[in-house]
Amino acid sequence: MHIIKPGLCIVAMLAINALLYSVSTDADWDPSETGPFETAQALVLLLTAGLWTTAWRLANKGTFGRLLGIVLAGFAVWFGGREIAWGGIYGVPFAITRGLEIVIVAVILVMLFCQARIWFARIPDRTRTLLVFARTWRFFFLALGAASVLVGDFLDKKILALQYSQHLEEIFELSGWLCFLVAAACHVSITAGLGALHVRDRRANGAMKAAGFSPSREASPSEAGR
């Protein structure tokens, strides 16, 4: 991954943030929890969770791609619930929102424990897998999204005395979640392509066996390298 392309992505994101900041402040958009920013963030995270779940279903069992899909789907659900206070901003009673939060967080923790067992038991050469993944666009967009959300959290602390700091906070958070969405879309595309390759290989091997030939044992493609 050439350094110029990631740099252009960062510049483009900052330019879009600046444009959105100009439009939202001129139009006096509501930056509160029930405003367009928070609503857009919740919708983006819901879609992101759906894409990560789709990638999890498409990936082969015991692979890094499948593990990544289900783990990040859980995190997307948690962040999405947090953005809307688990329904509290829409008037849902506190007892229900707190119970919903506890149940979902408990499910996510159990899921993470199960995936950790799979990671240590089934994923070979874990260090190399992570290093290869760190050179992919998926990792880049995940890292960029996390950095953008952290900038939004920094602005939320009111450390900088800016007139529209809340607008900036919501804009950076929204762009961060959009980066997570792009990473999820990339992962779906890759796992779908790998799934098609595995199906094609199985059919080819079956045809060779039916014809009396011995199928060659070629190394399967790695989803971590894209």
Average per-residue pLDDT for the chain: 82
Total number of domains in the chain: 1
Q: Which domain holds residue 94?
A: 4-225
- The answer to whether 179 and 142 have CB atoms below 8 angstroms apart is yes
Cβ within 8 Å of residue 9, ≥6 positions away: 140, 144
Rounded to 5 degrees, φ, ψ at 43 are: -65, -40
Tabulate helix, strand, coil % of the chain (nearest 5): 80, 0, 20
- What whole-number distance in Å separates Cα of residue 30 and Cα of residue 205? 59
Q: Where are the alpha helices (DSSP H) in 92-125?
A: 94-122
Cβ within 8 Å of residue 172, ≥6 positions away: 17, 148, 149, 151, 152, 155
Q: Is the pTM of this model over 0.75?
A: yes
Q: How far apart are the first and last CA of the chain?
A: 10
Q: What is the pLDDT of residues 111-153, one digit of tens each?
A: 888 888 888 887 778 888 889 999 999 999 999 999 999 999 8
Q: What is the pLDDT of residues 204-214, one digit of tens each?
A: 455 445 555 55
